[in-house]
Structure 1
Amino acid sequence: MSVSPPPSHSEPQAAPALTLTDLSWSVGGATIVDRVTMHVATGEFIAVIGPNGAGKTSLFNLVSGLTRPTGGRILLGGTDVTTERPYQRTRRGLGRTFQTSSVFADLSVEENVDLAAQARAGGSHRFWRRAAAAGGLGTTEVLELVRLDHRRAATAGGLSHGDKRKLELALLLARGPELILLDEPMAGVSAGEVGELTAVIHAVQRERHCTVLMVEHHMEVLLDMADRLAVMHHGELLAFAAPETAMADPDVQAAYLGESL
């Protein structure tokens, strides 16, 4: 008597944290982002590299909803958000920093984070409890994670540029993001602060299990942190692979011969 093997009950695969399919953006006949397709797994650290004009920030603008694509689709955790507004994507767990620091300069570090937590909770006076329930962290936990607990009473406008970048991360963390876009976080940061800020970003990604996409020109930082490099060139995704594989790609080497990444 033959016996049939038991049916397979393999676990379903989780949807990628971010899926871009043929994502494009054109303005006045010029193509700025050209059919970018990318699947980013939950918890991955992706470094987006390329010279000025390669389309890196434009790609972030499309993912965060600041710009409406002229073609393609954007999925966050399997949900199509292509036509959603930025605040709707934020509610789905998307957080972003920009090249220019954006904090409430006249408020203390602690007050800045408290406001971010309150925004996460919808403005309720009971924001502390609701923010934690929604996946955010308390102010003390956030400030400890970004190594600013000792500056909690300091006025945000008086912080060094590196500490302002840490505070921006704290504001994101208070909202409980699952996917974070960091647009040149080291821009304007002194050489002495780069190592500390790098360690903070790495700790955030590791301890909060966030998915991170980061645009940065400090290649020595990226090669140590990134799971994969997304190499942009003239709006196209030239390579999307492990750092050593991407940097050894003949097309990448040919495209960037003589150009600084």
Structure 2
Amino acid sequence: MNDPDGYFGEQVAATYDESTAEMFAPAVVEPAVDVLAELAGDGRALELGIGTGRIALPLARRGVPVHGIDLSRAMVARLRAKPGGDEIGVTIGDFATTRVPGAFSVVYLVFNTIGNLTTQQAQVDCFRNAAAHLEPGGCFVIEVGVPELRRLPPGQNVLPFHVSPTLWAYDVYDFATQAMSSNYVEIVDGRGEFRSIPFRYVWPSELDLMAQIAGLRLRHRWEDWTRAPFTGESRRHVSVWEKPHS
């Protein structure tokens, strides 16, 4: 991958909002913004992987000062083009290691973005980076799916998640390394186009250990932004780790 924007360059950015339209629905966005605004309080929020501003823009409209870090200039250009987008500060860089000035009440990663870091070390670095940006008492929040390995029978490592006349989409898992990829075959103007984006799946318990390494402790774990209880049947979670005061 030689694109300076990583796997979220112009081709993805051009249709990102449309392709994830269900994630922009008020019923999805508002509960997330409610939680983040409450955690931010009178302080600042830092979004890792700010993208096109799905969460950052409505959070800023609540009066929370928001800064973002993102590798993709193409995604950030879409943020800038939206009302209020030019008022949000964005630093271009790898959110696992890029530092920005000041301290924040809340640092957050939404919509499985932690998986865009494709090694365990990068994910650990991300926790350390989040902790370094937090003021004492501040929180690091991650929204991510629970790995769906229970849906795979023995001997199978491919899981389809979308099938239509113009798009086939499927995940491929490597159980030995926790590497995975989301793969898309799309029919455009009568021709097939293939795209693959790598991820690293991660378990809640593994994230808790990363938090401990970074000096954070678990405050909450919910199934979703409505704060429904997290159970053994939950397919995703919203986890909140706190930076102790001392």
The TM-score with structure 1 as length reference comes to 0.29
The TM-score with structure 2 as length reference comes to 0.31
Computing the radius of gyration from Cα coordinates, the structure with the larger value is 1
Higher share of residues assigned helix: 1
